Amino acid sequence: MIRLADWSKIAERITEFIRRFVESAGAQGVIVGISGGVDSVTTAFLCVRALGRDRVLGLIMPEKGVTRDEDIRDAIDVCRKLNIEYRYIEINEIVESFLRNLDKGDMIPVANLKPRIRMTINYYYANLLNYVVAGTGNKSEIACGYFTKWGDGAADFFPIGDLYKTEVFELARFLGVPERIIDKKPSSGLWVGQTDEEELGISYERLDGILKALERGMSSDEIVEKLRFDRREVERVLDLMERSRHKRELPPIIRLRDLLD
């Protein structure tokens, strides 16, 4: 655990990063899609800390009947607590209009459609207001590809992108994020009853332990033998990282200039 004094330095570095990015982009402010979860709420707190409440717009985009009622309440309460302007936009009709005109799909393509719709709305308002879009992804989920490509993985910058999920919880407490938001089970809200840890197949605490060990250069054998992690968990994390590699890279472009110039 990082000492409380260090969280002050971390928060200040992130807020300075936000200020510089917004200024360099020539933007008037920041869009934050606020789900009511700890990542998006922490990002909103940081953006307000960096820019002031008048330059942050919160977008609350639930899917009625799927998004948890507590998440909707928490998202609205946070916007009111931060005293920022926000828009409440239910995406049900938008999702349904897509599905009426598409081939019938199973749960996963339908689920991934939703964050892509939400990001489209984020960028509509960003274009409308000359704002930039703050990504709300953390380091754990980015490393494992636990995000939708061109959905919640699409943004102009990621204020908490170098913080593992367990570290986001600690920063949230330092910033004064309500404890009920920190304590509830993380969920992307893609379908009823979905939880992030169940879908990942590992708890965030153990996931972060493995990711930190890999970042320090430890081999999978060392993580198993020295840190006493289950080999299946380590292999699960390595597999997630490898299969999602394309999500963290720019689309490849074939090199042809040698045949043309």
Domain extents in the chain: 4-187, 201-250
pLDDT score, position 193: 75
What is the Cα–Cα distance from 60 to 69, expressed in whole angstroms?
12
Residue 142 neighbours by CB under 8 Å, 6+ apart:
153, 158, 161, 248
Query: Residue 217: what are its φ and ψ, rounded to 5°?
Result: 95, 10
Instruction: Assign a CATH topology to domain 4-187.
Output: Rossmann fold (3.40.50)
Would you state the structure tokens that stand for residue 40, as one six-digit string?
């998006």
- How do the pLDDT tens digits run along the chain, 261 residues long? 555 559 999 999 999 999 999 999 999 999 999 999 999 999 999 999 999 999 999 999 999 999 999 999 999 999 999 999 999 999 999 999 999 999 987 889 999 999 999 999 999 999 999 999 999 999 999 999 999 999 999 999 999 999 999 999 999 999 999 999 999 988 877 778 778 898 899 999 999 999 999 999 999 999 999 999 999 999 999 999 999 999 999 999 999 999 998
What is the Cα–Cα distance from 211 to 223, expressed in whole angstroms?
10
What is the Cα–Cα distance from 235 to 220, expressed in whole angstroms?
8
What is the Cα–Cα distance from 182 to 185, expressed in whole angstroms?
8
pLDDT score, position 1: 54
pLDDT score, position 3: 55
Do 75 and 90 meet the contact criterion of CB atoms below 8 Å apart? no
CA nearest neighbour of 22 among 55, 54, 44: 55
pLDDT score, position 187: 80
